[in-house]
Each structure stands twice: as structure tokens, then as C-alpha cells.
Amino acid sequence: MFYRCNSRRSASPLFRFLFAAALTLTSLSVFSADMNTWFREFKQNASDQTLYKLLWSLPKGGDLHHHLSGAGFSEWWYDIATRPEQNGGYRYYTKTRLLQCRGYGTNEYGPNPQNLLFRTIQASTYAALNDCEKQEYELLSELDENTKLAWFNSIRLDKAHEGRNEFFERHWQRLNELNNNPHIGAHILLKNMQAFAAEGLQYLETQVNVDRSITPEGELMSPAASLKVYTDMLASEAARKTGVTVRFQYALLRFLPHAEKHLRWMYDFVDQHRDLYVGINMVGREDNDKGHPLRFLPVLRELRRQYPAINLAIHAGEVDEPNQHVKDTLLLGAQRIGHGLNTITDPDTLLLMRHGPYLIEINLISNRLLDYTEDYASHPFPEYLRTNIPVALTTDDRGMWDSTLTDEYYVAVKEFNLSWQELTGLARQSLQHSFLAEDDKQTALNTYEQRLRQFAGALAGDGVSSLPQAAPKRRFICDYQPTLCHQG
């Protein structure tokens, strides 16, 4: 065996020769077969730490299902929000006490809940509060260590009893006005690019909205001014240094009363910014029937009469009960399905998607933590993968899971015994089904194959021990596989 797990043995001369020969073959199938044999034996002998190390350095394609507003780790949010010199001159306060200033039972729910700890507001909003309300808040930068840790935990799923209600109805309302600051968003984007580059990602397709930004004074910022903050960041040396290619989607919150009007606006906006925006995504809880897919069929048909084609990647099938939302979403014109969990309950649609042009964006960790699957064994991912439905692993709201893309890969390998061909096929399909322009897509695929061969060559030479050490593990993976975080 040429790999190194717990021993320091070098590759045998015979295997090195055979492996080097395989790398020179033009047939990808021969190369993959050779690596399949190696990877199968590797999995049988490697420790959890060694497997994770391999997957961390493994070249990865694209992350196609990525909510930027949910992709910041708690410490990232705090660091940027408490540094006015970095965040555009904003200062933030967060609610740390409940004094019932407006009376018990008044406005406990809705967009401005009074009973929600760690709801964060900017200084201009704080200045407009009455004296009682101001006593409920503390300056974010002056929290003591215990309160700061509680703030960190308030925007991630860190307890077993937390699930989708905590996520959908609390996390976003706590972040609140942090998500209205494009400077924070741009820095969260940069930190994602840097973190993704470290674990081998080459393409990121993330959701960025710019029509709700507000200035430090609390005034609405123009979409053009907000977008410039992001484009300036992408043009920065720090962003270019990552080597990660980034494109944006615009996200429509599907169940709002005026969603059709907003969709018309964003269609026009995306059409004017096709160099950066490559598609539109419909997001939001699918168990809120006000956002059902066919609601948007008339307006999409109207818009397709006015604009050249715009790509659609739409959330569908992220529900417990069987329904035909995936089928209806394909009728809307979607090229990619976000989650697609209950596709398996709709045989006609399942058959339609086999060998088809539609990809399902798989979010193993998200689906488990939000209790859409009882356990990983009940997830339909392997059924899709092994019946030739295009799939790719994605991270969804990784900051709130406190996880990485490598964690998704690790769960997939441990739970479903992926082969080398399946593992690398996930990355290929993420690039093949990206919304990159065709020339850029082919370039990305060629780059991936080159990176993969270089990676395999490094393994043939010095084994896994030559790979860089993985970054410190996040909370999710330590809970899922405690042995990964017990380092001697």
C-alpha cells in the first residue's frame, strides 16, 4: 500500500510504478478504476483522523447551495460587527435583558419580537428606543465573556432540542440588522472564500441580496451602492489570492405577500448584472403553503416573455410530507433543486430526473439538524446518487451548523461508503451543473481534473502524511465523530 495511515512506510516501488503509469494514461476510466481500488483499501485501514485529513485536502468543485447570510461562523460575525473601521463605521447593540417595556404579551412574535434575547440592532435603531428599551441592550463590543459565548451560541444550532423552528424563527431575527450591512456581508464572503480555498473548493455560487441595505444612519442604501461594496471586495487582493471563483444568485423569500413584485424587480436587476449574477433562487420554509411553487408560474411566464433566459435554482422537497413540489418546481423552469428530499416519494418525478439535466443540491447536515431526516440512514442521497440522478454536496447555512464542506464529504463517506468515482463525481457534477458561462464551465472542469491528478500524484509519492493538516474541527464534526477532535 502506498498510503500512510498510522505507519511511516513509503509506497512500494511496484505500486509507485503502477500508479505513475496510471497517471499517464489518457483514459479517465482507467485512472478512476485504479483510484477506486486504492480508496477502497484506504478506507478499510485508515483512522478517522487520516480519512478526514484526506477529505480536507481533496480537490472539490463548487458549493452551489450557499446562503451567504447563514454562512458566517459566530466568531466571524462578532469580529466584523465590533470593528467599525472594518464594517463601514457601524456600531451594534444586542438585547441581553427582557424588561417587558411594552407590556407582557405585546408584540412577542413577528418581525420585531420583544421577547427575543440577542436580537442585534445598529446604533441608529438603538438611538430611537425609549429609556426602558435601551436598558435591555448592551453594546456588542462590550459583552463579558459568558454573554459573548451565549451570543455566539444563539446563532448556531448547538443544543439537541433545537431544530427548524429555532433556525427559521430565531437565528435570522437575532442577526437582524447585521444582514443589512453590505460591508459585513462582503467580509463574510471573503472569509468564506478563504476558508473554502483551504479545503480545496474552486467555485462558489452564493446568494447575495442588495436591496435591503441600510446606512449607519438608518437610511436605505441604493442597490448599486450596496453591490459596489461586494464587487470591491471581490476585486481585492485578499479575495483574488484565494483562487476561488464566485458568482451570485438573487434570493426570493417565496411566502411574502408581495413576492411576485419582488421577483419582477430582481429579474430586471439580474438581467442588468449578468456578469456577476448567474441566477435566481426561491427560498424559505416550504411548509408555509403561501410560497407553493405554482404560485409563481404566471409571473415567470410573463417575465420570460420580456427577458432572455435567467437560470433558476429553487428550493423544493425540503418537507416531511409527500407532495409534488419538486415536479411543480421543474415546471417553473428550475435547472437545479435545492434539497429535493421528498423527490423519492414522487416516482414519476424521480424517473424524470434519472440521467436528466436537473441536479439535486444535497445538504446532509442541514437536513439532519433540522429534523427533515430521522438519521442519515434514512436520507435519500444514496438512492439518487446510485440511480444516476445528478447530485452535489453543498453546505446550505454552514455557519449555523458550525460545519464545513469537508464535514459534508466526511458524513457521506462514513454513512454511505462512497467510492472514489462517486466522491470525485460529486465535484464534477457541481461544476457541470453550475451556472457559469459554458466556456468558464469547461475551464473549471479542466482545472478540476488537473488538480485531481496532481493530488493523486502527491498521494502516490509520499502518501497522506504529505498532505497539510486540516484546520481545527468545527462543533458539528466534533459532535458527529468525537474521535476526530481527540488529538494526541
Confidence of residue 296 (pLDDT cuts 50, 70, 90): very high
Q: What is d(CA 256, CA 141) in angstroms, rounded to the nearest whole number?
A: 34
Helices of type H across 357-437:
364-369, 381-385, 398-401, 405-416, 420-432
Say if residues 429 and 448 touch (Cβ distance below 8 Å): no
Statement: residue 26 has pLDDT above 50: no
pLDDT value of position 50: 96
Q: Is the pLDDT of residue 121 over 80?
A: yes
CA–CA dist 356, 376 (Å, integer): 25
Cell numbers for 369, please give them.
439538524
How far is residue 108's CA from residue 77's CA, in Å, rounded to a whole number?
25
Each residue's pLDDT tens digit, 351-363: 999 988 999 999 9
- Report the DSSP beta bridge partners of residue 338: 315, 361
Regarding beta strands 359-362 and 391-393, do their DSSP bridges make them parallel or antiparallel, or are they unpaired?
A: parallel
Confidence of residue 109 (pLDDT cuts 50, 70, 90): low
Within 85-207, strands assigned E span: 92-95, 120-122, 137-139, 203-207
- What is the model's pLDDT at position 462? 82
Question: What are the distances in angstroms from CA 147 to CA 58, 132, 354?
Answer: 38, 20, 50
Does the pLDDT at position 376 exceed 90? yes
pLDDT at 27 over 60: no
pTM of the predicted structure, to 2 decimals: 0.92
What does the alpha-carbon distance between residue 373 and residue 211 come to, in Å, rounded to a whole number? Answer: 34
Tell me the CB-side half-sphere exposure of residue 10, using CA atoms within 13 A: 6
Alpha-carbon distances, residue 176 vs 120, 173, 179, 277, 314 (angstroms): 6, 5, 6, 24, 24
Question: For residue range 50-91, what is the model confidence (pLDDT) as tens digits?
Answer: 999 999 999 999 999 999 999 999 999 999 999 999 999 999
Per-residue pLDDT, averaged over 105-131, amounts to 83
Q: Which domains, ranges and CATH numbers included, belong to the chain?
A: 62-71+179-448 (3.20.20.140), 75-155 (no CATH)
- Comparing C-alpha atoms, which of 156, 149, 174, 168 is closest to residue 92? 174
Confidence of residue 322 (pLDDT cuts 50, 70, 90): very high
pLDDT above 90 (res 160)? no
Residue range 386-399: mean pLDDT, rounded: 98
The residue ranges of DSSP E strands in 53-193, in sequence order, are 62-67, 92-95, 120-122, 137-139
Q: Do 15 and 35 contact (CB within 8 A), yes or no?
A: no
E-strand spans in 91-130?
92-95, 120-122
Q: What angle do CA 410, 411, 415 make, to 5 degrees?
A: 120
Angle between helix 28-45 and helix 13-24 axes, rounded to 10 deg: 140
SS3 67: strand
pLDDT band at 465 (very low <50, low <70, confident <90, very high): confident
